[in-house]
Amino acid sequence: MTVKSNHVTIKGIKDGLVFLLDDKCDFSSLLEELRYKLEFSHQNILTGPIIHVDVKLGTRLVTDDQKEMILDILKQKGNLLVRSIETPALAREKDENALTTMTGIVRSGQVLRHEGNLLFIGDINPGGTIVCTGDILILGALRGMAHAGFEGNEKAIIAASYLSPTQLRIAETISRPPDEWENRETSMEFAFLLDGKMQIDKIVNVTRIRPDLNVFRGV
């Protein structure tokens, strides 16, 4: 399904939506039309299950503040999760160590699936689920279920700013939090497998387990 207008084109793809934003128009006009489309057009695709969104800016150069303005508009729809926001200059081929960034909230009953490593900026609410073939790194609260390395990657980790899940899984290993979970400090931690058993440690120690991973350094 494609919605065309002067400044914003929304295209349906196999695993989500692509927002093509005109790179020639005034930025304020672009934001105005983006708001209008999300508020008044195509409610059938902007409600319900999680929809992954890729934003393409063409040749437009934007500041970090302008990117945030675009993200703020998209985040007003609770089922939209921004997977990428890019210009051709920023596009690059993914490899096994690439880290995809998404932002939003995974609510109760919603399942977010991703192939590869994921940095998720937002919260996973109770009843929400996040599943990745690689690492799961959450800048926010994990209060639902997380499954990293679900295709068998036992080196995958699950990290969160606030780690209080209903269940953790890495590869085939399942760990439920202990009864006293709520009585212990749960901030800035990560889960990993050691000799086939689930372990929890502070994020400051993550590079001891995974020297290649430095996303959470200084956080």
For the chain, give every domain's residue range. Answer: 2-86, 99-209
| Rounded average pLDDT over 35-48 | 72
Task: Determine the pLDDT at residue 144.
Answer: 94
DSSP state, 177?
P
More confident residue, 130 or 62: 130
In angstroms, what CA-CA distances link 163 with 114, 183, 192, 198?
20, 12, 13, 14
* Fold of domain 2-86: Double Stranded RNA Binding Domain (3.30.160)
Task: Determine the pLDDT at residue 154.
Answer: 94
What CA–CA distance (Å, rounded) separates 113 from 107?
14
* Fold of domain 99-209: Pectate Lyase C-like (2.160.20)
Over residues 166-189, the pLDDT tens digits come to: 999 999 999 866 554 555 567 889
